Chains A and B, each alone.
Chain A
């Protein structure tokens, strides 16, 4: 399998720490970071760290999955509506598929995304899980 080391490395910071872009013009927040606001067209956008809290907006359970994603089959992928208003596609982890519903409160965690075989690199990034019971606060 081809190792896309430079690409995965380039995107690391925003995937590891869930960074997004916020438009200084219209205030729209998007993930991933992009240079021009898709809402108003302004290029006055800043990188922000997102809170990592949100709720499930839509979801699916995947049984047939792309190569190098087999480890977690079946897995749940959702559109999560973040507190900041942005939607983000992400896996929901630490959950049974039947526990997921639209509106489920979730929080970001750092997990493996995929492994390029036993001798390739491991890609890490954001996923979400149901909010931990007892979770009083995060950073």
Chain B
């Protein structure tokens, strides 16, 4: 997919909460094996945080980098699977908190872990069509795993925000994008349920690989690019293994994917996952760098984007905290405090 008018990212920002739960803590409580843990630790939101508060901080960081008055935003899109309200849009709260609107299109998106990139696709279309000058797309999640479930080792929290604008002011131009979806019940949470169910190994081949690979391949074919054209690749990261294997299958080398692979340190931030990886890459990117971003959301689908960094990037990187500043800001907690903070104790 390509917009009529050239567009790009004028600002970006991330947020990761400060608490960390080591996978070994989960293993100790549930008698899980200590070997082959899927991540070292995951991020845990504080008791006063949720997908909206995290989205706001990421968005303010993006606004700082874009140097755009929030009043100029034409759209505020928030993608999450953990919106604090079942009915009441997260997007209006974010818009109010950052000073956007009221004349602004605000919408909340939901598509498991790809709700954030879905918001980005919509933002690209809106700006590319010339309907609004700038659009804000956010992926933010405080993901929940059922106690004892393997997801509990990885279900983390974090947010990333991107401001889409005209290419001439962009720090990274979007060359093209792709979406690829099928009806695949690999993971879901029924209405009213607190925890999701998933299909175990069914989430792998038919789910993750069955969408990430074709979406990426189709976009590369659209653009006539090969892996060697990219400085970095970021794939959705539910664990450390899947994105590394998928990237290798696509022909990428570890140095291309390692920079944006944060799952081992913050877990799977769901709608924030691949987007936070993108922000970490942008923090270090230089003019001319080409970046491939591919998300995955259960249910299932992938969005793929190809970006080229411009010379505007270096002046904006330092205008907000870097993603690794958040990753390094960590306070380990034990399973008991984690259970309390995440509302897993019956009070």
Chains A and B share a contact (CB less than 8 Å): yes
Chain A interface (Cβ within 8 Å of chain B)?
Answer: 12-13, 16-17, 70-72, 91, 93-94, 96, 109-113, 122, 124, 127, 132-139
Are B96 and A138 neighbours in the complex by a CB distance under 8 Å?
no
Are B49 and A134 neighbours in the complex by a CB distance under 8 Å?
no
* Contact with A112, one of B49, B99, B318 (Cβ below 8 angstroms): B49
Give the CA-CA distance A45 to B51 in the complex, in Å. 36
Which residues of chain B are within 8 angstroms of A111 by Cβ–Cβ distance?
Answer: 46, 48-49, 53
B15 vs chain A, min Cβ distance (A): 10
Which residues of chain B are within 8 angstroms of A16 by Cβ–Cβ distance?
Answer: 96-97
Are B47 and A124 neighbours in the complex by a CB distance under 8 Å?
no
Give the CA-CA distance A12 to B96 in the complex, in Å. 8
Which 8 residue pairs are nearest across A and B when measured between Cβ atoms?
A134-B325, A111-B48, A16-B97, A71-B47, A112-B48, A110-B56, A139-B64, A72-B47
A122 vs chain B, min Cβ distance (A): 6
Give the CA-CA distance A133 to B318 in the complex, in Å. 13
Are A124 and B53 neighbours in the complex by a CB distance under 8 Å?
yes
Are B48 and A13 neighbours in the complex by a CB distance under 8 Å?
no
- B308 within 8 A of partner (CB): no
Are B50 and A137 neighbours in the complex by a CB distance under 8 Å?
no
Give the CA-CA distance A24 to B318 in the complex, in Å. 35
Which residues of chain A are within 8 angstroms of B331 by Cβ–Cβ distance?
Answer: 96
Selected A-B contacts with CB under 8 Å, 21 pairs: A12-B96, A17-B98, A71-B48, A72-B46, A96-B331, A109-B57, A110-B60, A112-B48, A122-B50, A124-B53, A124-B93, A124-B97, A133-B325, A134-B321, A134-B325, A137-B319, A137-B320, A138-B60, A138-B64, A139-B60, A139-B64
A72-B48, A93-B46, A111-B48 known; A135 vs B321 contact (CB < 8 Å): yes
- B329 within 8 A of partner (CB): yes
B337 vs chain A, min Cβ distance (A): 12
Are A93 and B321 neighbours in the complex by a CB distance under 8 Å?
no
Within 8 A of A (CB), among B320-339: 320-322, 325-326, 328-329, 331
- B84 within 8 A of partner (CB): yes
Which residues of chain A are within 8 angstroms of B20 by Cβ–Cβ distance?
Answer: none
Which residues of chain B are within 8 angstroms of A110 by Cβ–Cβ distance?
Answer: 53, 56-57, 60, 97
Which residues of chain A are within 8 angstroms of B178 by Cβ–Cβ distance?
Answer: none
A93 vs chain B, min Cβ distance (A): 6
Are A132 and B329 neighbours in the complex by a CB distance under 8 Å?
yes
- B75 within 8 A of partner (CB): no
Residue from the set B46, B52, B57, B96 with the largest chain A CB neighbour count within 10 Å:
B46
Q: Mark B56-91, 1 if CB is under 8 A from A, else 0.
A: 110010011000000000000000000011000000
Are A93 and B319 neighbours in the complex by a CB distance under 8 Å?
no
Residue from the set A12, A94, A133 with the largest chain B CB neighbour count within 10 Å:
A94
